[in-house]
Amino acid sequence: MAVEQVLIGGTWRDANFDGTFQADNPATKEALPAEYPVSTWADVDEALSAAAVAFHEMRQMSVDRLELFLNLFAHKLEENAQALCQLAHTESGLPVSPRLLDVEMPRTINQLKLAAVAAGEESWRMATIDTKSGIRSYYAGIGPVAVFGPNNFPLAFSGAAGGDFAAAIAAGNPVIIKANPAQPGTTRELAKLAFEAATEIGLPPAAVQLIYHMANEDGLRMVSDPRLGSIGFTGSKGAGLKLKEAADKVGKPIYLELSSINPVVIMPGALAERGDAIAAEFQTSCLMAAGQFCTNPGLVIVEEDENSAKFLETLKSGFAAAPSGTLLGKGVLAGLTANLKVLEDAGANVEVAASGEGSSAGFTNPNTLLSTTAAKFLANPEAFQTEAFGNCSLVVKAKNLDEICQVIDSLEGNLTGTIYSDTDGGDDPAYDQVAHHLRVKVGRLINDKMPTGVAVSPAMNHGGPFPATGHPGFTAVGIPASIHRFAMLQCFDNVRPSRLPRALHDENPTGHTWRMIDGVWTQKNVG
């Protein structure tokens, strides 16, 4: 069987490769037939050079073409949704329905359409015009972006169609897609449609390129290459931090979305008021898609009392009865097993570890609920906040509010932090304290609902303090803010009017672009 082709410099061609790999079907544990190349540096090098050329061309192009491309690509996804979701299911084990076809594909399409609007409207550029000093500035593309997609969202976070891809293109950057090795076929099909759309719209040939895999050292070399502008990476902490080190060394902005255990604090009043309902919400959130979400609630903090004891009992029977979902692959299972062991070795009690009815024949882990005390947690916070990515969570029982705050203070940065409190104000004084401590540890503070939903909203922050991400000022979800990651600030001082980019002309470029003119946000022309 022929080895699959890479997309470099506008051509699907045989890779320069050193070894091949296959993906598994996680629902059957069987290897899928297609063989994908592990590219050598020659491929990466050629892709980087082609991307640099494409970037120069894209800078001279009308932004309308970016908008047309993103919309056409979205349209092609709509047309091919069924086949793409079937393939993504085969490579990820995630159900076509209700997940891939009903939720993730529409989200992916929506993100591309929002990015299209942003690209054409140019409000994301934050054009700032100071008429008195003759200085104008805005955000513009930073250069070719390498996007490393994760395994847990084969569509919505895919390097070939997800949020990073959409944001990088909207800013006017070519993208080098690094496929997630668990889903090379899905990535290839997405990249095919993206490339078709790019060709039809007339983007430069190397606006979209695809490499399936490369040696670790070539990945490090790629992210530190001067031809590359920036990197988007969603995945494991180990790989992400190595890439970050390489990129940091040469001052290249790299945006990471790494581990997060997403603490959920459930106040005593809330448990007294609606413990069963919260237990049900928590179980759904924690076990949905076998817990393989970046915002999975991996840490629950409660005060020890009869209601929290009852809450734990409810969860135990719920976890035991629920089917354990299919994991994304053997790598996820191996990581989960190893990290559960770290937690157990640290002294966590296994409250339940059971595979409920109807469990998959594929890669699975028993639904696992662990518990410990705040005192034990505080004695070894590093081990106890190990992320065990999958269908498990750790319940921490605190003696009092003070211990809850201490546990929070001991946490690293997280994407989200959630507080449940009662509705009649009894928890309010304690809420204020908990929220004060939690606020600076998380990107998104949530009340009274589980963290697993990540709405595509301009107000969303899917980001947070290190090591949840590499920079607490940026979000990976939410147009237009996510676009800023792949942009540089460009200032024009005394530049003659005819030489300014469209977004900085006196005339509003679209009639509805938001710009800051002499201290006023406006859609009007200058003057």
Work out which of 354, 465, 510, 526 binds a second copy, going by CB under 8 A: 465
Single out the segment in contact with a second copy by CB under 8 A; choices: 162-170, 298-306, 399-407, 516-524.
Answer: 516-524
Nearer to a second copy by C-beta: 148 or 431?
A: 431
Nearer to a second copy by C-beta: 95 or 472?
A: 472
- DSSP structure class, residue 328: S
CB of 100 to a second copy, least distance (A): 23
Q: What is the DSSP string of 9-33?
A: TTEEE---EEEEE--EETTTTEEPS
Single out the segment in contact with a second copy by CB under 8 A; choices: 22-30, 385-393, 395-403, 463-471.
Answer: 463-471
> In which element (H, E) is residue 119 found?
helix 105-121
**357 binds a second copy, rule: CB under 8 A:** no
What length is written for the chain? 527
CB of 500 to a second copy, least distance (A): 10
Number of neighbouring beta carbons within 10 Å of residue 527: 7
For residue 265, report the phi and psi dihedrals to the nearest 5 degrees. Answer: -100, 125
Nearer to a second copy by C-beta: 34 or 495?
A: 495
Nearer to a second copy by C-beta: 365 or 418?
A: 418
Return the residues of window 223-282 that contact a second copy according to CB under 8 A. Answer: 244-245, 248-253
Single out the segment in contact with a second copy by CB under 8 A; choices: 19-27, 128-136, 283-291, 332-340.
Answer: 128-136
CB of 4 to a second copy, least distance (A): 34
- Two tokens, residue 518: 């002499």
Sign of CA dihedral 302, 355, 338, 237: negative
Q: What is the DSSP string of 58-111?
A: HHTS-HHHHHHHHHHHHHHHHHTHHHHHHHHHHHH---IIIIIIIIIHHHHHHH
Nearer to a second copy by C-beta: 162 or 443?
A: 443
Return the residues of window 136-165 that contact a second copy according to CB under 8 A. Answer: 136-137, 139-140, 142-143
Residue 442 contacts residue 416 (beta carbons within 8 Å)? yes
CB of 371 to a second copy, least distance (A): 27
Residue 322 contacts residue 283 (beta carbons within 8 Å)? yes
Nearer to a second copy by C-beta: 21 or 466?
A: 466
Nearer to a second copy by C-beta: 22 or 457?
A: 457
**410 binds a second copy, rule: CB under 8 A:** no
CB of 345 to a second copy, least distance (A): 25
> Which whole-number Å values give the CA distances from 325 to 150, 318, 490, in the listed order?
19, 14, 48
**78 binds a second copy, rule: CB under 8 A:** no
Phi-psi region of 126 (alpha: psi -120 to 50; beta: other; left: phi over 0): left
Number of neighbouring beta carbons within 10 Å of residue 222: 24
Work out which of 463, 483, 508, 509 binds a second copy, going by CB under 8 A: 463
405 among known catalytic residues: no
Site string for a second copy, 37-56 (x = CB under 8 A): -------------------x
Alpha-carbon distance of 475 to 452, in angstroms, equals 16
Q: How many residues bind a second copy (CB under 8 A)?
A: 72
SS3 state of residue 152: coil
Active-site option among 121, 257, 281, 403: 257
CA 296 to chain centre: 13
**455 binds a second copy, rule: CB under 8 A:** yes
294 among known catalytic residues: yes
**204 binds a second copy, rule: CB under 8 A:** no
Work out which of 310, 316, 471, 502 binds a second copy, going by CB under 8 A: 471
Single out the segment in contact with a second copy by CB under 8 A; choices: 175-183, 202-210, 324-332, 428-436.
Answer: 428-436
- Among 161, 166, 182, smallest CA distance to 78 is for 161
Alpha-carbon distance of 513 to 527, in angstroms, equals 15
CB of 521 to a second copy, least distance (A): 3
**Helical packing angle, 63-79 and 184-201, nearest 10°:** 130
> Which whole-number Å values give the CA distances from 431 to 15, 373, 435, in the listed order?
57, 20, 6
Active-site option among 85, 294, 392, 405: 294
Nearer to a second copy by C-beta: 1 or 520?
A: 520
SS3 state of residue 311: helix
CB of 347 to a second copy, least distance (A): 24
**493 binds a second copy, rule: CB under 8 A:** yes
Which sequence positions are flagged as catalytic? Answer: 257, 294
